[in-house]
């Protein structure tokens, strides 16, 4: 987590059942994307990138006190 620049890192995987056309190969390192939380667990949350087949785990150690993109 880069608190100063308000960035987090996530591990991603591609879902084979999604109907969108974008896959993990369509994204570049450092690219800003929008997504939504699919599931929250004790160890973190699963986030799906909008308009894609890509989802990933954001570990709780990577989440700050305030939402990313706020303020």
Per-residue pLDDT of the chain (71 residues; tens, 9 = 90+): 566 776 666 666 665 554 546 888 888 888 888 899 999 998 889 999 888 878 889 888 887 766 555 44
pTM beyond 0.75, yes or no: no
Q: What is the domain partition of the chain in residue ranges?
A: 11-62
Residue among 50, 44, 38 at smallest CA distance from 8: 44
For residue 71, the model assigns a pLDDT of 46
For residue 38, the model assigns a pLDDT of 92
What CA–CA distance (Å, rounded) separates 16 from 31?
A: 22
N-terminal to C-terminal alpha carbon distance within the chain = 17
For residue 46, the model assigns a pLDDT of 92
For residue 26, the model assigns a pLDDT of 87
Q: Could you give the C-alpha distances from 54 to 9, 70, 71, in angstroms and in order?
A: 14, 23, 27
Residue among 56, 51, 63, 61 at smallest CA distance from 26: 51
């Amino acid at each position: 987590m880069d608190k100063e620049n308000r960035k987090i890192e996530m591990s991603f995987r591609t879902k084979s059942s999604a109907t969108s056309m974008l896959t993990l190969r369509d994204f570049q390192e450092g690219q800003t994307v929008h997504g939504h939380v699919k599931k929250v667990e004790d160890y973190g949350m699963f986030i799906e990138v909008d308009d894609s087949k890509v989802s990933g785990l954001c570990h709780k150690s990577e989440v700050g006190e305030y939402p990313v993109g706020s303020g």
